[in-house]
A and B are shown apart, each in its own frame.
Chain A
Amino acid sequence: MRLDFRFLYLFFLIAGLLSADFLHAVDGDLDHSSTGSALISVTIPERISLNSKLKELSVSRNKPEELCVQTASSYEQLMVLSSNLGELNLTFTNTSECNHQFSLSDTRETGQSSTVENPHVLVFVLRDN
Chain B
Amino acid sequence: MSKRKNLPMRLIIILLIALACGSTALYVQYSIAATQGTLGVSSQGDATLSMDIPQLVRISGIQDINFGNFSGGADLSQDVDVCVYTNLDGGEYRVRASGSGVDNAFDLERDGTGQEVPYVVYWSDTIGTAGDQIALLTGQASVVQDGANTASQNCGGGASANFEVRMTANNLLNVPAGQYSGVLTLTILPES
- Flag whether A25 is at the interface (Cβ < 8 A): yes
Count of B interface residues, CB-CB < 8 Å: 47
Cβ of A46: which chain B residues have Cβ within 8 Å of it?
177
Q: In the complex the two chains form, what is the Cα distance from A29 to B68 in whole Å? A: 29
Question: Is the beta-carbon distance between B59 and A36 smaller than 8 angstroms?
Answer: yes
Contact A44 B186, beta carbon cutoff 8 Å: no
Q: Is B187 an interface residue (CB 8 A)?
A: yes
- Say how far A71's CB is from chain B's closest CB, in angstroms: 16
Choose from B69, B172, B178, B186 the contact partner of A36 (Cβ within 8 Å): B186
- Residue contact A28 to B188, C-beta cutoff 8 Å: yes
Q: A37-B184, A39-B183 are in contact. Are A25 and B64 (CB under 8 A)?
A: yes
B67 within 8 Å of A (CB atoms): yes
| Given A30-B85, A38-B64, also A44-B172 (CB < 8 A) | yes
CB distance A32 to B54 under 8 Å? Answer: yes
Q: Does A13 contact B (CB under 8 A)?
A: no
Q: How long is the Cα–Cα vector from A110 to B43 in the complex, in angstroms?
A: 96
Question: Contacts A42-B68, A42-B167, A81-B73 given: A37-B185 contact, CB under 8 Å?
Answer: yes
Any B CB within 8 A of the CB of A47: yes
Contact present for A42 and B57 (CB under 8 Å): no
A79: which of B71, B172, B186 is its contact (CB, 8 Å)? B71
Interface assignment of B63: CB less than 8 Å from any CB of chain A: yes
How many Å from the CB of B113 to the closest CB on chain A? 12
Contact partners of B159 in chain A: CB under 8 A: none
Distance between Cα atoms of A23 and B187 in the complex (Å): 19
Count of chain A residues near B, Cβ 8 A: 30
Chain B residue contacts of A27, Cβ below 8 A: 58-62
Interface flags for B169-192 (1: CB within 8 Å of A; 0: not) read 000100111111111111111100
List the B side residues contacting A90 at CB < 8 Å.
Answer: none
Which residues of A sit under 8 angstroms from B72, Cβ to Cβ? 47, 79, 81, 125
Q: Within the assembled complex, what's the spacing in Å between the Cα atoms of A37 and B182?
A: 10
Contacts of B136 in A (CB 8 A): none
**Interfacial chain B residues near A45, Cβ < 8 Å:** 69-70, 177
Contact of A37 among B56, B119, B186 (CB under 8 A): B186
Q: Judge whether A39 and B187 touch: CB under 8 Å.
A: no
Query: CA–CA, A102 to B67, complex, Å?
Result: 27
Given contacts A23-B64, A29-B58, A32-B56, 15 further A-B contacts (CB under 8 A): A27-B60, A28-B59, A28-B60, A30-B153, A31-B57, A31-B58, A37-B62, A39-B64, A40-B165, A40-B184, A42-B172, A42-B180, A44-B69, A79-B71, A81-B72
